Amino acid sequence: MAQTETHAFQAEIRQLLDIVIHSLYTDKEIFVRELVSNASDALEKLRFLQASGKEVLDAGITLGISITTDDTTKTLTFCDTGIGMTKQELVENLGTIARSGSKEFIKSLTDTKEKSLELIGQFGVGFYSAFMVSDQVEVYTRSWKPEEKGWKWTSSGSGEFTVEEAEGLQRGTKIVVHLKQDQSHFSRAHEAEAILKRYSNFVNADIELNGTKVNTIRAIWSRPKNEVTEEEYAEFYKFIGHDSEQPRYRLHFSADAPIAIQSLLYIPKTSIENLGLVRLEPEVNLYCKRVLIQAKAKGLMPDWLRFIKGVVDSEDIPLNISRESMQDSSLIAKLNKVLVGRILKMLDEEAKTNPESYAEFFEAFGHCLKEGAMQDYTHRDGIAPLLRFESSVLEAGKKTSIADYISRMPEGQKEIYFLAAPSRSTAEASAYLEAFKNRRYEVLFLTDPRDEFVMDSLREHDGKKLVSVEKADITTEDSPVAEGALDDKEARKLTNWMKELYGDRVDEVRISKRLVDSPVIALNADPFTTASMRRIMRAVQKNETATPDKAHLEINPSHAVIISLAKARESKPEVATIVAQQLLDSALLAAGIHEDPQTVLKRMNDLMAAALK
C-alpha cells in the first residue's frame, strides 16, 4: 500500500486560494478554459522536448486532450498526454499559488529559436479555478521522464492537499473534477461542449469530448497567408460569421509594431441593417494565444465598423490575472487604430481594383462609413475617399467618388458642388441646377439625408471646398438675352412691387443671374444650413424652436411668365397679384422651405378662376 503524504497550504496561500475561488472570475465556466489551457501547454512542452531530441516516456502515444463528462457521478475529467509532473513538480506547481510552472519552463530556455514555444499559462492561478465548481479535485500525473513514477494529488481546496503514488499511469495528466451539488450542470455533455467551443476552440491541440472531436476549425489566423486555403477561409467565416453567404472581403494580416497582432477579419456581402430592423454589433473577438479573452470585444472596432466580423489575436497584450480583460485600455485604443487603418486601406484597394463589387459593398454598408465620416475625427481623412455619391453627370444609380468628381472639373471650377434632394428626379428638376448645367459644372446629388451632414463635417476634399448649390455664388455664362426680356429698369420696378406685395415673407426680391428655364428661384437666406438640413432639424425639434426660414427670391427677367407679369401688373393688377403670390409659393415649395403648403391649394383655385374668367 502506497503511503499518502498530507501537505498543508501555507496560511497566505490559503487566503489567496480563497480569493481565486470566490472573487477572481466572473464566470464559473472559465475553469474549463483554464484546465484545457494547462493541458494544451503540457502538450506544447512535450512537443518541444521531443523536437529538441529528448527521450520521453510513452513516445508513441497520440498527443491530444480528451474530456469526459459523467452526469451520474457528476464529474468532469480532463486528460492530456503532455509532459505530466514529477512528485516535486506536483507539490510545487499545484501546492503553491502564483507559481507558474509554465513561466519557469520558458525562463529555463536559453536558445532564441526556443522562443517560438507558445505557452498560455503565466499567472499560476488558473488551476485553482476548478475549486469554484468542485469540492474535490484529483490529479493523476506521470512525468515524461522515463525514470519517474506516477502520482495522485487530491484536495478539496480548503486547507490541505495529499500526494500519493499511483500505479499504472501513462505519461500525461488526468484531472477529475467532482462537481459541487449546485454546479453539477457542468457535467452535461452539451454544456461542456458549448463552453469548450466558446473559449478553447482554437487551442493548439485536438480536443475530444466523450470520444468526439470538438475543435474541427483551426486557428488559421495565426498561419501565414500562403499556407491557408480558400476552403479553410470559407469554413472559418462560416464558423465565426454565422452567415450562409460567402463574405465580400477578407483581411488577413499580422503586424509587429506597435503591438504584435494576428488578425483575420471579414466583411459580409449583405447587410441586415438595411432592412431597418436591427442594428449590427461588431463581432470581433479578442484572443491571446488562441484562447478567447473577450467575445465581441468592446472598443476594438469603432461602432461605425460594426459590420466587421473576425478575430484579433495578440500575445503581447498584458492580461489581467483573471484573463477576462486587458489591463491596459490605452492598448485597446492602439489596437483599434491599427485595425481601422488596415481596414480602410483594404477598402481603398478593393474600390480601385474592383469598383463594381465595391459599389455593392457601398450599397450595403455605405451608411456606416458615412457615420464614421461624421463621428470619427481620427479616421475622417481615410474614410472620405471611400464615400460615393450620385451626380448630375452620371446615369441614375451610378455613384462617384469625390476624387473622380475633381478629376472631371472643368478649368475655372474651384469648388465641389452638391445638391441635397429627397430623390434624384427632384434634384434634376431643381432650379438651382440651371446655372451649373449652363456652366457645365458637375453637381453631386445627395439623396441620403445623412449626406449633407457628411459634407458638413468633411468641409473640403483635396483643398477644394464642398459647397451646397444653395449657397454657391454662381451666375450663368453669357446666356443670350431673350426676346422681349425686361430691361434693368423694368425688372427693378417689378422686384420692388413684388417685395411690397410679399412683405415679410421674403427678405429680398432681386434679379437673378443664375436662372435659365425657371421664372423664379427661392434661395434660403440662412447662411449656415441648407433647406434639407432645416427640414430634418424641424422634424427633430418638432417645430417648436425652429426659427422661420428666411428666403431671397430671384426672378428671371428673360422668362415669359415674368415678362407677362410685368405687363399684367398694370393691365390686370388682380390677376398679377395672384400670379405673383403663386410664383413665390412655387419657389418656396421647390426650395423645400415653404412654411404652410396648404395655403397654396386655395390660391391655385383663385388662379384657375381668374384664368377662366
Residues lying near ligand ADP in the complex (CB under 6 A) are found at: 34, 38-39, 42, 80, 82-85, 93-94, 100-102, 121-127, 173
Q: Measured from the CB of residue 299, what is the shortest distance to Mg ion in angstroms? A: 26
3-class state of residue 497 by DSSP? helix
Is the Cβ of residue 105 or residue 253 nearer to Mg ion in the bound state?
A: 105
Q: What spatial distance separates the first Cα and last Cα of the chain, rounded to whole Å? A: 125
Q: How far apart are CA 362 and CA 347, in angstroms?
A: 10
DSSP β-ladder status, 207-209 and 65-70: parallel
Q: Measured from the CB of residue 204, what is the shortest distance to ligand ADP in angstroms? A: 14
Q: Measured from the CB of residue 35, what is the shortest distance to Mg ion in angstroms? A: 8
Examine residue 200 and tell whether it contacts Mg ion (CB under 5 A): no
Examine residue 101 and tell whether it contacts Mg ion (CB under 5 A): no
Residue 330 DSSP symbol: H
Is the Cβ of residue 24 or residue 555 nearer to ligand ADP in the bound state?
A: 24
Contact predicate 455/446, CB 8 Å:
yes
3-class state of residue 446 by DSSP? strand
Q: How far apart are CA 603 and CA 613, in angstroms?
A: 15
Examine residue 366 and tell whether it contacts Mg ion (CB under 5 A): no
Question: Residue 125 touches which of Mg ion, ligand ADP, none (CB < 5 to 8 A by kind)?
Answer: ligand ADP
Q: Measured from the CB of residue 108, what is the shortest distance to ligand ADP in angstroms? A: 12
Nearest residue to ligand ADP, scored by beta-carbon proximity: 101
Q: How far apart are CA 96 and CA 17, in angstroms?
A: 10
H or E element: which one contains 493?
helix 488-502
Binding letters toward Mg ion, positions 462-501, x by CB under 5 A: ----------------------------------------
Is the Cβ of residue 291 or residue 555 nearer to ligand ADP in the bound state?
A: 291
Q: Measured from the CB of residue 88, what is the shortest distance to ligand ADP in angstroms? A: 12
Is the Cβ of residue 125 or residue 509 nearer to Mg ion in the bound state?
A: 125
Examine residue 121 and tell whether it contacts Mg ion (CB under 5 A): yes
Out of 16, 24, 38, 335, name the contact with Mg ion by CB under 5 A: 38
**Within a 10 A sphere around the Cβ of 37, how many other Cβ atoms?**
24
Examine residue 173 and tell whether it contacts Mg ion (CB under 5 A): no
Contact predicate 143/171, CB 8 Å:
yes
Is the Cβ of residue 83 or residue 521 nearer to ligand ADP in the bound state?
A: 83
Question: Residue 100 touches which of Mg ion, ligand ADP, none (CB < 5 to 8 A by kind)?
Answer: ligand ADP
Examine residue 82 and tell whether it contacts Mg ion (CB under 5 A): no
Is the Cβ of residue 99 or residue 424 nearer to ligand ADP in the bound state?
A: 99
Is the Cβ of residue 38 or residue 285 nearer to Mg ion in the bound state?
A: 38
Examine residue 95 and tell whether it contacts Mg ion (CB under 5 A): no
The identity of residue 457, as a single letter, is S
Q: DSSP for 359-422, please give it.
A: HHHHHHHHHHHHHHHHH-GGGHHHHGGG--BEETTSPTT--B-HHHHHHTPPTT--SEEEEE-S
Contact predicate 536/422, CB 8 Å:
no
Q: Measured from the CB of residue 34, what is the shortest distance to ligand ADP in angstroms? A: 6
Bridge-partner residues for 261, per DSSP?
Answer: 255
3-class state of residue 44 by DSSP? helix
Residue 560 DSSP symbol: H
Binding residues for Mg ion, per CB under 5 A?
A: 38, 121, 126
